[in-house]
Every structure is written in structure tokens, then in C-alpha cells.
Chains A and B, each alone.
Chain A
Amino acid sequence: MMAREARGRALALLVAVAVFAAPPAAADEVYRLEVAGLACPFCAYGIEKELAGLDGVAGVETEIEKGAVIVTTRDDARLDRETARAAVRAAGFTLDGFRHLGPSE
């Protein structure tokens, strides 16, 4: 009886160690790009395609009224200003601002 309880406690301890010792799951990161020159819906498609084609990008959403593009990266992927600038330029527009908003909620 006591041996069974001891085995149970050991198992619980092992599970707890495994849970707390595991690295935390990587969070998605969110970036806000201000795009100058974005003035019609047809323009937005090219920007979204360019940004969505970057490694690690999980989602792209455009707010045309604000001239903003919200980019979400997955796992450990990160987006830097120069990569964003090149993608926006390839689409035919100008990167006017870049902010890392932090992990997605």
C-alpha cells in the first residue's frame, strides 16, 4: 500500500517536472506597418501577397483607411523593418512606419 502511494507521488513529481521544465510555447508576434501610397482596394492585394510570402508570416490584414497593414508571424519567426520595407517596395509602395506590437492575444 505504501509502495503504491510512493509510486504515485513519484509519478506526479515527474509530470510536474516535465510540465515546468518544458520551454514555453512560442507566441505569435504582431507588427504594424504604415504603408504610404495605399489608396485603393486593388493596391492592397499586392502588398498582402508580398508580405504573406515571407517566411514565418501567418497572417496579413489591411486597414485601408488607416494605411496600415497588420502582420502576424508564427512561432519563433520575426519580422524586421528592412524585410518589411523590401516587401512593400516590391509591391510598388513605400514603408512609412514599422512597429512591433508584441505577442498576439
Chain B
Amino acid sequence: MRCPGAAIAALAAMPSLAAAAAQTFNTALPVGEGRYVLREQLVHRRAGGDPTGAERVSTAWSAVSVLGYGATPDLTVFAALPLVHKRLDVTTASGRRVERSAGGLGDARLFARYTAFRADAPGRTFRIAPFAGVEAPTGRDDAGDRLGRLPRPAQPGSGAWDGFGGVVATWQTLAYEIDVQAAYTANTGADGFAFGDVARLDGSVQYRVWPRELGGGVPGFLYGTLGANLIHREETTLAGRADARSGGTQLFLAPGLQYVTKRWVLEGAVQLPVAQELNAAGLADEVIARLGFRVTF
């Protein structure tokens, strides 16, 4: 089984924020020196399709706060803190349907991006930035209920220190923006349990649909957005053995809208799985919905 909450936090907390960046991963332009960007994103994820008699259905809500600070014109540091609520509905061996849930602080992320290449021209820019960070085990990994300790994927936190890194490229004009990101997360273990490593390739296109003609000043831009996410997860391991119910490869498409002004951004998208090659009895994602805003100060 995969971990919806951890995956949500990972999806929502990668570097970016300062431009009309992609919604399903954070890329894009640096935060200006001495400036802050605060991003709040509410994410809902539902996974099901369990082929076993347990008929597991996993749902997760996550509210992720990300604060970015421009340390220099090229270096931006971020802190991301998720609040998560996870629920697992499962049919027991006795045939009874039970609900198990846990909530609270998830695992925090600290990371930085550095703009290594920048080519600015009138009305357009191209940038390449590597990024790296760590995920700290700030969320509980021992939550339980009357049935005992919850399965690890249903815990708010992973209990482990994890590292991630990658590179993002952005091509932005007044009419559209294209972002591409490659990222890898190396998950470590705790108490004999470890989520599998995650490799992902993300792309996003944003096209200005309004206003069609730019007048004077700085009007708000309404973008139509389309994201794509190719994600491969290794199997989780428990006591050194791989869990065959976990891991696999997924491809998502994410249509959405984004309204961008000088001070704030309002955005929403729905991630739809278009292909899923999952190991054994892994749960399949059904939908991931996102709603959020950003403000700079």
C-alpha cells in the first residue's frame, strides 16, 4: 500500500512558488532577495480498487503550508509543514467494515533551490535550478485506535529522515509557461519499516486565457493549466522484506486553473490517473484534488 499523506506532502512541497508555477509540483522563478512567499494548499486524495477481500479504501486530506524566503537573488530556502488526516476503510476477516484514521502534523520539509542558469529577455525568461532538501520525522508514526497501531502508510508521519533532490527548468513568457522537473526521493527506514524510493518526472504547461490582450499596468492573468506527472515508487520494506502490495508506476494528468495577480495567486487542479502499473494488490489512485493560494510579502 502506498502512503497517501506522505505522497501528498511530497507533491505539494517541492521548490518554487514565486511565479505562476505549476500546481502539481513547485518549480519556477526564485523569490526575490529579502522577500517571502507563503503558499497554502489543500489536497484531497482517494485511492481504492483493492482486489483483495479487505476492500481497502484510503482517503487523505492534507493542508500544506510552505514558506519561501529569498536568501539571495538566486538562492531560495523553503520550509513546508503539512497537517494531515488519513483514513483507511477496511473489511475485517469477520466481514465487518471498519474505519481507521489518524491525523495531526505530518513530516516537515526543509529545502533550497539555486538558480544555476538564467537567461532573461524582454517578456520571457529561461531558468534552470537544482534543488535539494530533507524531510524530518515530525509526524507521529505510532498512532493507533481500539484495533491497535495503524498500518504505517496510514500514519501521519514516516518516522524517518528522508532526502530528496532534483532539477527544474522553467520557460516563461507573457503568454505561456512550461515547467519540467526531475526529482528523486531517497526514503530511509525507521523501526524496520521504509517506504520505497520515489523517482518522478513532471511537466506543466500554463496558457494565459485572459486577458487576451494586455493593456497598461499589471492586470491579473487567468491561466489554463495542464500538468503531467510520471511517478515510480519502489516497494516498501518491512523487516528487510519487500511488501508486494506496494510500489509501481503511475501517470497523472492534471487540468486546472490559476489566477495570478501581483500579490497573490489562486489555483485549483484535479489530478487524474491515466495509467497505473501497480505491484500486486496495491491501491490505485482514483483522484487527487488541489485548491490553494499564494501570497508574497
Contact B214 A41 (CB under 8 A): no
Query: What is the distance, in angstroms, from B18's C-beta to the closest C-beta of chain A?
Result: 7
* Contact mask for chain A residues 65-89; partner B; CB cutoff 8 A; 1 contact, 0 none: 1010000000000000000000001
Check B224 for interface membership: any CB of A closer than 8 A.
no
In the complex, what residues of A have CB within 8 A of residue B214's CB? Answer: 64-65
Interface of B is mostly: loop
The answer to the question of A38 belonging to the interface, with a C-beta cut-off of 8 Å to chain B, is yes
| CA distance in complex: A90, B216 (Å) | 25
Of A6-14, A16-24, A25-33, A42-50, the one contacting chain B is: A42-50
Cross-chain contact A43 with B18 (CB below 8 angstroms) = yes
Q: How many residues of A contact B (CB 8 A)?
A: 29
Across the interface, do A92 and B217 meet the contact criterion of CB distance under 8 Å? no
What does the 1/0 interface line of B61-74 toward A look like (CB < 8 Å)? 00000000010011
The A interface is mostly helix, strand or loop, or mixed, namely mixed
Asked if A92 and B20 make an inter-chain contact with CB atoms under 8 angstroms apart, the answer reads no
- Tell me how many residues of B have a C-beta within 8 Å of chain A: 40
Most buried by A among B35, B115, B215, B260: B35
Once A36-B120, A43-B19 are accepted as A-B contacts, the answer to whether A64 and B296 lie under 8 Å apart by CB is no
Q: What residues on B are CB-neighbors of A63 within 8 Å? A: 216-217
Q: Nearest-CB distance from A47 to chain B (Å)?
A: 8
- Is A65's CB under 8 angstroms from B174's CB? yes
Give per-residue flags for B98-128: 1 if the beta carbon is below 8 A from chain A beta carbons, else 0: 0000000000000000010010111111000
A40 and B20 contact, CB distance less than 8 A: yes
The chain A residues found within 8 Å of chain B, CB to CB, are: 34, 36-50, 61-65, 67, 89-94, 96
In the assembled complex, 26 residue pairs joining A and B whose CB atoms fall closer than 8 Å, in A order, are A36-B120, A36-B122, A37-B124, A37-B125, A39-B19, A39-B123, A39-B174, A39-B177, A40-B174, A40-B177, A41-B219, A41-B221, A42-B19, A45-B263, A46-B18, A46-B31, A49-B32, A50-B33, A64-B217, A65-B214, A67-B122, A90-B34, A91-B32, A92-B18, A92-B73, A96-B120
Q: Which residues of B contact A (CB under 8 A)?
A: 18-20, 29-35, 70, 73-74, 115, 118, 120-125, 172-174, 177, 214-221, 260-263, 265, 294, 296
